[in-house]
Structure 1
Amino acid sequence: MGFEGNAQTFRILTRLANHREEGFGLNLTRATLNATIKYPWARSEKPNKDKWGYYKSEKEAFEFAREGSNRTEKQSLEAQIMEYADDVTYAVHDIDDFYRSGLIPLDRLLVEAEQNYRVDEETSNIEQYLREEGKEEIADNVRRVLNDINSNYARDPLKCPYTNSEEQRIAIAQFDSNLISDFINGSEGTEPPIIIDLTDDEFDLERDDNVEETIQVLKHITRYYVLSNPSLNAQRHGQRRIIRVVFNALYEESGKPGISAIPEPYRDRLQENLKVATETQNARVVADMITSMTEKQVSAMYKRLQGHSPGSLVDEIVR
């Protein structure tokens, strides 16, 4: 069957999140839909890619969104703008969030830059990690980016471990605001960080190289300190197991013609397609159900299906 978060988003917008008539999604414009299509191809068109933009069940909606465009496997301008907004958001706010939580030692990185790397333990560790990951170019930019951030964005309160003091809250808010502003508008006396360029009768978003390098360094700092953290990876391992168990159990239930553990409206969809449904269609309905649930709901469903916490008859997990 295959599952991909971007393709599931497109399915929700065009089919599952009904606005007026069931089965037609939110009835969004082509421009809005195009903004969500980060990977403008199906899995079957790019079998070697681990990302794709739509399932074949939403092919008609995809073709509607792309109608009138000369590009086949290239993002629309709207999607390029959305991707840039995502990159800026993750680059800045992940640093903010994980500095506050104590996972990213922003204070030590800034002090190392301020002292011209007389002690460079944290900086060297990041560079070594990037080189081992084959990210040589990003590793080469780490010190330049940290120097720039220390000189232009970081006030002294950020050069200490976060204690939630008022001056630190003000400093981190200004750090976020100024950095985002320069990623969008550029700093005084510099070229705009992004421009819209017309190429082959299609508009594209052109990014400034220095800004792109800064964003990549910030994102990989988060990757080093947070995403490679053993505690997080142990948690993710457990979450994958929960999802796998819940999916397999509900998929087994999806083949039952009568009463099952699958609630409405998903049970109704299975019943409607009972005579013509394929295994893939049933699996897709189960995936739709799981993606509609919160983390708390999935955990509760897992405990109920495993018999760890059966719960009450009147305590519905999915409403």
Structure 2
Amino acid sequence: MTVDPDAERYVAEPPKDPTTVAADTVRGAYNRDRARVLHSAAFRRLATKTQVHGSRVGGGDGFLRTRLTHSLEVAQIAREMGERLGCDPDVVDVAGLAHDLGHPPFGHNGEDALNAAAERCGGFEGNAQTLRVLSRLEAKVVGPDGASAGLNLTRASLDASCKYPWPRRDDTRKFGYYADDAPVFAFLRAGTPADTPTRRCLEAQVMDWADDVAYSVHDVEDGFHLGFVRLETLLRDADERAALCKDVAEAYSDETPDELSGVLDDLLADPAVAAVADFDGGHASQIALKRAASLLIGRFVAEAIAATRERSGDGPLRRYAADLVVPRAARARCALLKGIALRYVMRRPGAGARYAREQEILRTLVAALVQRGPAELDPVFAPLWRAAPDDAARLRVVIDQVASLTDPAAIVWFERLR
């Protein structure tokens, strides 16, 4: 039987025996991919990995978003967008669920710390680590050579989960795979249009926009609940609005501060946004905030779908049949929301000391594990250390170990090993 190239797996697996399960439970390849991600250890660990707010911020009551809840929200937004465009809904769902599996403890701050610590073995990048988790580190499938194939997802699902389909290079901090993961990267990129080797498939573009939309809106929403974000400051202070636009132009947008200023004025004048200017945490305020978040997400999704349909037509769109089109104004509004979280949450007074402490924890863990070796590694990683051919390969095993830890586990390991 001929296998659809998109549904091919890196390691061939025998077909499921239909006599062992009821006929109505026999699932397609992409639905199986989704189940494998949902049931993975890496996915469970996202429950105690930082999204933006650390696990102890807000009293640690579990109310704020974590990497797990964020990933579920991204998957929901991506699935809806994908269905409306004609993508396979399970493929975009898998991409949304899996996109942050490689992120280390302490969010992007932890990513920066591990990138510095991993310089001698090719650096660290959360998205490259995601591919490593999916194709190597998770325990599910073993290849004929005895090496782990991770979850052994289909080509389409791996490709959809790859935000940055290129290796590490000097002109960008973002990249999609490490040198020793090049074989599986070549597998997932087979069939990519030859004239655009770094082009992302439509499902990856949908996932990426869903990620931007989810965290730009939800990080601000959580900031309101914590009292870090208060719109009245922006409404009454022109200098503060100008400073925000400058931050956004430097960090998130190709627009100039003057161009962003007009977009910000329109955003603040939106009745749904203006309704949360006096947010006080009460029931009515929470309803208004949730309504604003829902409307913003809905508009971001609808604008991208409409613009894509205008360019590519009404038929089903998937893989490399089209590119996602996001209007410039929508990207600017999204960037401004990211900037609000950056300025009032991530750069709030006192946050710097926490970030420095988190980096110290991860640097210390890497140094201690490099020195002490396999005796201190989890049973999954100790054999990999012993089989590593050189110091760089052993360092990569240590980086894999530290990246796998949750925020609380990183602190516990630090206290034990320092």
Q: Residue type of the partner of 1:293? A: L
Contact 1:290–1:298 (CA<8 Å) still a contact in 2?
yes
Shift of 1:120: 2.6
Residue 105 of structure 1 aligns with which residue?
230
Q: Give the one of 299, 302, 308 matched to 2:411.
A: 299
Q: 1:140 aligns with which of 258, 262, 274?
A: 258
Match of 1:6 in 2: 127
Q: Any idea what SS the aligned residue of 1:20 has? A: coil
- Partner residue of 2:371 out of 252, 255, 268: 252
Q: Distance in 2 between matches of 1:238 and 1:167?
A: 38
- Shift in CA distance, 175/203, structure 1 to aligned 2, threshold 3 Å: same
In the alignment, structure 1 residue 183 sits paired with structure 2 residue 294: no
Q: Could you say which residue in structure 2 is the equivalent of 1:288?
A: 400
Q: Tell me by how many angstroms 1:280 deviates.
A: 1.6
2:20 is equivalent to residue 20 of structure 1: no
| Aligned position for 2:58 | none
Structure 2 contact 137–150 (Cα < 8 Å) conserved: yes
Partners of 2:135 and 2:151 within 8 A in 1: yes
What SS does the aligned partner of 1:99 have? helix
* Conserved? CA contact 2:267–2:333, under 8 Å: no
Aligned equivalents of 1:134, 1:268: Cα separation in 2: 42
Return closer, same or farther for 1:138/1:153 CA change in 2, 3 Å cut-off.
farther
Structure 2: gaps spanning 5 or more residues: 1-120, 313-319
Q: What whole-Å deviation, never above 9, does each CA across 1:49-70 have from its counterpart, x for those lacking one?
A: 3221001221111011100111
Q: Deviation string for 1:130-155 (max 9, x for gaps)?
A: 57779683422444333333443426
Secondary structure at the aligned position of 1:49 is classed as coil
Deviation readout 1:68-90 (Å, 9 max, x if unpaired):
11131222222211111111112
| Partner SS, residue 137 of structure 1 | coil
DSSP-derived class of the 2:324 partner: strand
SS of residue in 1 equivalent to 2:322: strand
Distance verdict in 2 for CA 1:264–1:135, change over 3 Å: closer
3-state SS of 2:276 partner:
helix
Residue pairs, 1:1-319, within 5 angstroms: 1=121, 2-21=123-142, 23-43=148-168, 46-70=169-193, 71-109=196-234, 111-112=235-236, 119-129=237-247, 137-154=255-272, 157-160=275-278, 162-186=279-303, 192-195=306-309, 197=311, 202-254=321-373, 260-271=375-386, 273=387, 277-306=389-418
Distance in 1 (CA, whole Å) between partners of 2:404 and 2:223 is 27
Measured at CA, do residues 66 and 47 of structure 1 come closer, stay the same or move farther in structure 2, by a change above 3 Å? same
2:311, 2:165 → 1: CA distance? 20
Amino acid across the alignment from 2:163: K
CA displacement at 1:31 relative to structure 2: 1.7
C-alpha contact 1:19 1:26 (8 A) present in aligned 2: yes
CA distance in 2, matches of 1:79, 1:150: 31
> How far is 1:33 from its partner?
0.9
- Once residues 72 and 155 of structure 1 are traced to their aligned partners in structure 2, the CA distance between those partners, rounded to angstroms, is 41
Structure 2: distance between partners of 1:132 and 1:157: 29
Alpha-carbon separation, structure 2, partners of 1:300 and 1:157 = 43
CA distance in 1, matches of 2:215, 2:249: 22
- Alignment partners' CA distance in 1, 2:283 and 2:254: 39
Q: Distance in 2 between matches of 1:131 and 1:88?
A: 18
Sort the Cα spacing of 1:132 and 1:90 in 2 relative to 1 into closer, same or farther, 3 A: closer
Cα distance in 1 for residues equivalent to 2:225 and 2:158: 35
Cα-to-partner distance string for 1:212-258 (whole Å, 9 max, x where unaligned)? 1111121122222223334222211111111011001101122x7xx
1:41–1:52 CA contact under 8 A, matched in 2: yes
1:4 Cα offset (Å) = 1.4
Residues in 1 aligned to 2:272 and 2:127: alpha-carbon distance in whole angstroms = 35
Distance in 2 of aligned mates of 1:59 and 1:297: 30
Give the length in aligned residue pairs.
284
Structure whose CA Rg is larger: 1
Paired amino acid for 1:216: A
CA distance in 2: counterparts of 1:69 and 1:61, whole angstroms: 14
- The aligned amino acid for 2:242 is S
CA RMSD of superposed structures (Å):
2.6
Structure 1 Cα separation of the partners of residues 249 and 185 of structure 2: 39
**Are 2:128 and 2:175, in contact at CA under 8 Å, matched by a contact in 1?**
yes
Distance 1:250 1:196 in 2: 54
1:286 aligned partner, one-letter code: V
Give per-residue Cα distances to partners, 1:121-178, cap 9 Å, x unaligned: 4323324545777968342244433333344342665121x33101001000100111
Structure 2 length as normaliser, TM-score?
A: 0.62
Higher deviation after alignment, 166-175 or 123-132: 123-132
Relative contact order (C-alpha < 8 Å, sep 6+): which is higher?
A: 2
Percent of matched pairs sharing the same residue: 30
